[in-house]
Every structure is written in C-alpha cells, then in structure tokens.
Amino acid sequence: MSEKNVTELLIDLSNGNAGAVELLLPAVYGELRRLAASYLRHERVDHTLQPTALVHEAYLKLIDQTRTNWQNRAHFFGVAAGAMRRILIDHARLHKAEKRGADYQKIQLDTNIDKVVELRGELVALDEALKELEKLAPEQARLVELRFFGGLTFEETAEVLGVSLRTAKRHWRLVRAWLYGKLK
C-alpha cells in the first residue's frame, strides 16, 4: 500500500472511521514488524518478547489513542516508535526487578548509537538519560526516540519534527555527544 493510502487511512481513523482500523493493520504490519525485529536485535539474547508480540502490543496502544490527529505515515511510525520504546523499557524494568538487587550497568556509547543496547539494563539506563534530556531539550529527545527506537531515516525524522534535514543531522551529532557523556 502506498504512503498516500496509509496517510488517508490514518486521517480516516482520526476522523472516527472505525473501518479504517481493519484496513490499517495490513497496510502497516510489515513495516511495524520489521522495526520490532530491528529493536529486538539490540536486546539481550535471552529476551522473551518476540517481534510479533511487540507489534501487537504497540498497535493496540496506537489505535486506542482517540485524541491523536494522525498527520501522515511518518507521524504514525514516530508514535509507534515511542510506544515500542515504552513497551521494551517496561519489559526491561520487569526483568531487572526480577533479578533483585542487580546494579545498573554503565553503557559505553560509541559513535554508532545503534549498537548501544546490547547488555542487560542498558535500555533502562538509556531511558533514564532520555528522560533527563526531555527536560532539557524535548525536541532532541524526540529525535533520539525516532531515530534509535523508531528506526526512521533522517528525512523521516526531520519531517515528523518539522525541522530541516540539516537541523536534524546537527541535533543528532549534538545529542549523541551528550548521551555519550551521560552514559559513560
């Protein structure tokens, strides 16, 4: 299904068309599953959450949002990235709580942020750093969420944030350096 058709379905959903929900899932499922699989590749080896379950949990949260006025496909996948992030973080916190008394591990953040979340507890540390960043620079925190958790390209991220491609890339360099300092 084309990007235009997905956007039209999202607008129909925003306008209260219940039938759009049934048509939307087949249109976005493949991309959501690809994103979920990508996120889970960065998780620990013994992770119990599967891509299909992550997609279904996120999708249920997305269609339950009655106050969201979907703008386009990129906006939808940006919000989906946030939903998947929260699900993964909740799952990581639950796993960490089960270990009782485990210390948080510090992360080494190199120039490729996509390789960051490989050991247990790192996702939680990254989430805490992002919460701090949200207070200081909400747009930059959203940029990390869209790029890292959402897997969006710079072009898609710039579109969702309503900034130029150059600004998105500049903010990415700055926020990556900030995160490196926080997580080191």
Domain boundaries, the chain: 3-183
Q: What's residue 95's pLDDT?
A: 65
Q: What's residue 166's pLDDT?
A: 94
Decide: 118 and 42 in contact? Cβ < 8 Å: yes
Q: Out of 3-12, 45-54, 58-67, 96-105, give the one with best mean pLDDT.
A: 3-12
- Quote the percentage of the chain above a pLDDT of 70: 77
pTM value?
0.55
Q: What's residue 167's pLDDT?
A: 93
Is 118 a residue whose pLDDT tops 60? no
Quickly list DSSP for 19-47.
HHHHHHHHHHHHHHHHHHHHHHHTS-TT-
Torsion angles phi and psi, residue 9, rounded to 5:
-65, -40
What is the average pLDDT across 138-156? 84
Whole-Å CA distances, 126 to 37, 81, 104, 151: 19, 15, 11, 16
* pLDDT class of 96 with cuts at 50, 70, 90: low
More confident residue, 41 or 108: 41
More confident residue, 61 or 100: 61
Is 164 a residue whose pLDDT tops 90? yes
What is the average pLDDT across 50-58? 85
Q: Exposed (0-12), middle (13-18) or buried (19+): which is 136, by Cβ within 10 Å?
A: exposed
Angle, alpha carbons 169-172-175 (nearest 5°): 155
